[in-house]
Structure 1
Amino acid sequence: MDYVWHFGVIWDYRMVFVRGAWITAQLTLYSTLIGLSLGLLFGLFRSSTIAVLRAPAAVYIEFFRATPVLVQLVWIYYSLPILTGLQLSGIASVSVGLGLHAAAYFAEIFRAGINSIDKGQWDAARSIGMGYGQAMWRIILPQAIRRMVPPFINEFATLIKLTTLGSVLAVYELLHEANNLINNTYRPLEVYTALAVAFAVLIYPIILLSQRLERHWRTNS
């Protein structure tokens, strides 16, 4: 039997996708802010010559890179209240979980960017009396940031896709709203096609921006 496509249902329920996109945007923003903040901290620790800072940062990074994101989210949502008595909402759990996960990757981006700066820059900073902190904030990071932006953008795009894991915790992001819509309309092909297009529209321009910036800075470096 031939399947009859009916994309009119997508237009009829367009506000469902708008609501889901809004939650997806919130999750992406919150997790990015958490990831960047912790990523900078652990990236600096990872680049430090002080072992007591470097070792814990390495453990954190390897742990979150080696364990499944879904397991991390479920643990935060269900286990954290048992251990601490702190009950986070679904949105907060996903934001924190994705933020902690992203921090491990952002930390490595920070570390790679910092280490890519010529050692002579450190020597020059010390020769004019700058300490480690001054040299890092005034000389090293401003130069390294340019090299970090493309991988930062790629990680941001990855976070957008990872927000779909929030559906497991009943967070009403795009995938969860799409599944609810399928239950109401019995139109899975149309809904999932629209969902794929929605994510492509969100993510493809971000990837193009990353590639363009990378080419621009490579040409002008």
Structure 2
Amino acid sequence: MMAILEYWPVLLKGLWITVTVSLCTIIGGAIGAVIIGGLRLSSSTAVRVATMVFVELWRSPSALVWLFWVYYALPMVTGTRINPLTAAILVLLLEASVYGSEVVRSGLEAVNRGQSDACYALGLNKSQSFIKVVLPQALSQIVPGFGSMARTMFKWTAIVSFIGVQDLLYVSQFVRAQTFETTKVFLLLAVVYWILCLGVAFAFRALEQVLPLNRALRAAQASSSASQLGDNVSAIGAA
């Protein structure tokens, strides 16, 4: 193990690349998922169909195929070479956006249609009702599902090593080749990924606690419990 730890600067650099790609993917994917998910429920048939076709076309090939296509094939068409890190972030961001859009769509559909009707009755336009009323309520359904997907996206970052991005897997392979400690290197790699995914899970769990609807539900439950306790005390006193 000491032989492996001698390469800690290289491992730390790979860890930083993995975390950077993951954060860009998760944050950018969340924004893209909200946009695409909203477009899936557009009142325009053309927009809904075009968005659905894009989602299905992107989801059909694997992420690795898209990664190879963007990095190797696209420059042959456009004549412009793409930086491997940029290509990796672009592909994984779109991957997260497309898969996350289904989570967003189902969350938005879970909000009672009467909420939108009430917004229109109050004079709010579609954008205002979506941003201020519908989306905040849907987040209580969206965040848990997207949190689960975010952990998967963190693990998907390992594929970026196939195009030469020096992420954690890439540098681990280098360390393994130098030290011949295959078992220990991959055990360390598994532990690091486990810790990172656990951190993502805790972050999304904390985010769930501060969502407006969840806070309102907890406040309502606390008020109901206090009221019920007061009624029980009054009943005991009367007895």
Quick one: distance in 2 between partners of 1:208 and 1:201? 11
2:144 matches 1:164: no
C-alpha contact (below 8 Å) 1:38/1:100 kept by paired residues: yes
C-alpha contact (below 8 Å) 1:150/1:213 kept by paired residues: no
> Which residue does the alignment assign to 2:139?
145
CA displacement at 1:10 relative to structure 2: 2.6
Using the aligned pairs only, state the percent identity.
Answer: 29
Quick one: distance in 1 between partners of 2:94 and 2:203? 25
Pick from 11, 16, 39 the counterpart of residue 5 of structure 2.
11
The amino acid across from 1:118 in the alignment is N
Which structure would you say has the larger RCO, counting Cα contacts within 8 Å and 6 or more residues apart?
1
- Considering only CA atoms, is the larger Rg found in Structure 1 or Structure 2? 2
CA displacement at 1:88 relative to structure 2: 1.0
**RMSD after superposition:** 2.1
CA displacement at 1:140 relative to structure 2: 0.6
TM superposition score normalised by structure 1 = 0.89
Q: Decide which moves more: 159-168 or 203-212.
A: 203-212
SS at match of 2:137: helix
Q: Note the alpha carbon deviations across 1:62-100, whole angstroms, 9 max, x for none.
A: 222221110010000011111112211110010001111
The amino acid across from 2:79 in the alignment is G
> Which residue does the alignment assign to 2:17?
23
TM superposition score normalised by structure 2 = 0.83
Q: Note the alpha carbon deviations across 1:34-69, whole angstroms, 9 max, x for none.
A: 322322221111011211110111112122222111
> Which residue does the alignment assign to 2:117?
123
> Which residue does the alignment assign to 1:3?
none
> Which residue does the alignment assign to 1:56?
50
Q: Decide which moves more: 201-210 or 105-114.
A: 201-210
> Which residue does the alignment assign to 2:168?
174
Q: Decide which moves more: 88-97 or 142-151.
A: 142-151
CA displacement at 1:161 relative to structure 2: 0.6
C-alpha contact (below 8 Å) 1:34/1:96 kept by paired residues: no
Q: Decide which moves more: 95-104 or 11-20.
A: 11-20
Correspondence 1:109-120 to 2 at 5 A: 109-120=103-114
> Which residue does the alignment assign to 1:34?
28
Q: Decide which moves more: 35-44 or 131-140.
A: 35-44
2:102 matches 1:108: yes
C-alpha contact (below 8 Å) 2:4/2:179 kept by paired residues: no
Pick from 88, 93, 105 the counterpart of residue 94 of structure 1.
88
Shift in alpha-carbon separation, 1:210–1:38, aligned structure 2, 3 A: closer
Q: Decide which moves more: 109-118 or 34-43.
A: 34-43
Quick one: distance in 1 between partners of 2:164 and 2:44? 43
C-alpha contact (below 8 Å) 2:176/2:185 kept by paired residues: yes
Quick one: distance in 1 between partners of 2:47 and 2:184? 51
Quick one: distance in 2 between partners of 1:54 and 1:12? 54
Quick one: distance in 1 between partners of 2:138 and 2:178? 50
Stretches of structure 1 that go unaligned for 5 or more consecutive residues are 1-6
Q: Note the alpha carbon deviations across 1:6-29, whole angstroms, 9 max, x for none.
A: x22232222222111100011112
